[in-house]
Chain A
Amino acid sequence: MTVIAPTQVPPGDARPGDARVRQEARPATRRRRGAQAPLQAALAVAAGFTLLPFVWVVSGSLRSLADIRAAPGAWLPGEVTADNFVRLFQAQGFGTFLMNSIVVAALVVAGNVVAASAAGYALAKFDFAGKRLAFGAVMAALMVPYTATFVPQFVVTMNLGLVDTLAGIAAPSLALPISIFIVRQYASAVPDELLEAARIDGAGEFRIFARIFLPLAGPALATVTIMSFLTSWNNFIWPLVVAQSTSTYTLPVGLAATSQAAPNVTDYGLMLAGAIVVMLPVLVLFLLLQRHFVQGIAATGLR
């Protein structure tokens, strides 16, 4: 098949005026070498400040309780210990939280891949009655602030019998508007001729979608997978509302609950070890697959 893979671009018209993110575009104005040294210094300082929390979390998570009590503000561990991580999984139930986060993320990713590939394809490739309405629904899903709907969402979820279940935590995120925009944008770049040719050969629409479009949509679905995983993994307010017993806590809720259970938190080592467990999977993915993250977030703005 000689289809030129459509280049992946963020769905610009999700936010009109959104310029495309081009990775490593042309180096801008050539500057005299002299201007570079202060610039590099300023950037290094800014990077240092940005990284400070990461330095603190790594150092703090390796400190013993006694060490932190003796010198709470020390920047480096007196002695390095992995004890906090051991306690986290043995006594604090982080194994359960971790499993719950993984299950919820798997549900959310699966839901988004199915729902967004179908909806995005339809919005890009079909002319149909009520298309503007459908598009409006996606926009509304993007725009209605989450904080404005969580109370009735909770009531709906209760009536569905999904409060305090992992399915209930995943349900509202199963078809994220950003996923639909990502697929729609990608599908728009797939030539119509290709689909027409299959139609002339007598292929049905579902067959065309499954056999022609989906095999081409790999890059878009990769971005959808990563973005929905990120959304699910970092989601906080909804799991906080829906998960009511420790057996359904996801990692962020479990971490927040653990820290609130000890009001005068002096056990920072334990908390920071928990923080590492929560942030590490996403940070590792980010380092490996940076392009997808940047495109995905630039596509709809802030999380």
Chain B
Amino acid sequence: MTATTMSGSPPAVRSASRARGSGGLRRSILAWVFLAPFLAVFVTFTAVPTVAALGFSLTDLRGTDLRHPFAVDVVGLDNYAWLFSDGRFVRDLGNTAVFVAVGVPLTMLTGFALALALNTGIRRLRGVYRTVFFAPVVTNVVAVALIWQYAFNTNGTVNQVAASIGFAGPNWLGDPGLAMPVVILLGVWRNFGTAMVLFLAGLQAVPEDVHEAAALDGAGWWRRLWHITMPLLMPTILLVSVLLTVFYLQVFDEPYLLTDGGPLGSTESVALYTYHQFGFGQFGLSSAASLVILVLVAVVSFAQFRLLRPRT
């Protein structure tokens, strides 16, 4: 993460280019000039909004106040107190926990199983399979959500299959008990390709000769998977789990597009709560809710850094 990992050039050249003194200041100014376009966007659309979100969350700012900033009152932590006493927000925290608790392992297992299968030395169609499994990652979510609605409506293609084997299929997205699995399924479909690619990269770094030696010693496939592959793959497993956790903590597109949080709020995530409060003009409350996500994501990201800190 630091400058030490940044250059692969010989020491002599590096020390030459590092020469400070009179050239150092010019060099620094120059570097910041090169960074200026990025910084302009960063300050305007990340730094200022992050600080502003914190400020907004301590006020009763409403959409109608934007033209009259002095009508806004500072309310301290009232928004946060309100959030945690609001049954709807607490329910949405629970829903988000379900997204994480079910979505992360399901996505990981699917991606891991496919990566293992593609890494066993099969040659036929290997490239085709990788393309197919990765295609959902680049597919537009609005488009797929419509396909999901088409397939999972009461008379849709999924229930057509159910009917052909004698079942009357349910109204998947209209049933509070069934909507969540269908929404999560969309998240899994969209993300397992990323997990697969990262696992494939990790698996290719597992030395082959260790496996061969263990196989000679009579270790079976499961034993080698558990005792050789998994431990060596730990950094990748952590990385993927953190990426996916961060994704599902912020899940918005899938529930917004499929159910808009319904039926009966059974699929409303915290991110969707934030969006709905924004729609009601409750900017202060919305900002407070979004900072709850920010904190959760920060905790997970921080844990990632601690766990994955390179040993070098």
Residues in A lying within 8 Å of B, measured CB to CB:
13, 15-22, 24-31, 35-36, 39-40, 42-43, 46-47, 50-54, 56-57, 60, 72-75, 111, 114-116, 118-119, 121-132, 134-135, 137-138, 140-141, 143-156, 158, 160, 171-172, 174-175, 180, 184, 188-189, 191-193, 195-196, 205, 209, 230, 233-234, 236-237, 241, 251-253, 255-256, 259, 265, 268, 271-272, 274-276, 278-279, 282-283, 286-287, 290, 293-294, 297-298, 301-303
Contact = CB atoms under 8 A, between A and B. Distances in A.
A101 B71 CA distance: 38
Given A56-B147, A191-B9, 4 more contacts: A28-B119, A121-B34, A192-B9, A278-B143
Contact of A180 (B14, B38, B160, B274): B38
A36 B32 contact: no
B86 interface: no
A260 B310 CA distance: 48
Q: Which 6 A-B pairs have the closest CB atoms?
A: A73-B160, A275-B143, A152-B52, A122-B34, A17-B235, A152-B49
Contacts of B250: 145-147
B31 A131 contact: yes
Given A16-B1, A237-B253, A268-B150, A171 B201 contact: no
B35 A127 contact: no
Contacts of B14: 192
B269 to A, nearest CB: 9
Interface string B239-272: 1000110110110110001000000000000010
Nearest to B148: A53
A275 B30 contact: no
Contacts of B17: 127, 192, 195-196
16 contacts: A16-B1, A16-B308, A21-B200, A50-B133, A122-B30, A126-B34, A128-B27, A128-B31, A134-B39, A156-B52, A196-B13, A259-B149, A271-B150, A276-B143, A290-B131, A302-B246
A172 B45 contact: yes
Contacts of B121: 27-31
Given A73-B163, A127-B18, A158-B66, A50 B239 contact: no
Interface string B289-312: 011011001100100110011100
Given A50-B189, A279-B140, A28 B147 contact: no
A153 B49 contact: yes
A28 B27 contact: no
**Which of A24, A114, A145, A209: most chain B Cβ within 10 A?**
A145
Contacts, number: 376
Contacts of A40: 122, 124-125
Interface stretch (B74-82, B87-95, B203-211): B203-211
Interface string B131-150: 11111111111111011111
A4 to B, nearest CB: 12
A116 B143 contact: no
A195 B27 CA distance: 14
A205 B295 CA distance: 41
Contacts of B309: 16
Nearest to B199: A19
A184 B202 CA distance: 22
Contacts of A193: 9, 13
Contacts of A114: 37
Given A19-B205, A53-B189, A135-B1, A234 B140 contact: yes
A296 to B, nearest CB: 10
A119 B37 contact: yes
B2 interface: yes
Contact of A156 (B49, B159, B247): B49
Given A17-B238, A127-B18, A146-B250, A53 B8 contact: no
Contacts of B119: 28
Interface in B42-78: 42, 44-50, 52-53, 56, 66
A172 B41 CA distance: 6
A147 B291 CA distance: 9
Contacts of A233: 140
Contacts of A259: 146, 149
B294 A145 contact: yes
A303 B133 contact: no
Contacts of A35: 120
A16 B304 CA distance: 9
A282 B49 contact: no
A10 B274 CA distance: 33
B267 to A, nearest CB: 16
B184 interface: no
B278 A151 contact: yes
Given A28-B204, A147-B250, A297 B41 contact: no
B143 A297 contact: no
Interface string B176-214: 000000000000010100100110111111001001100
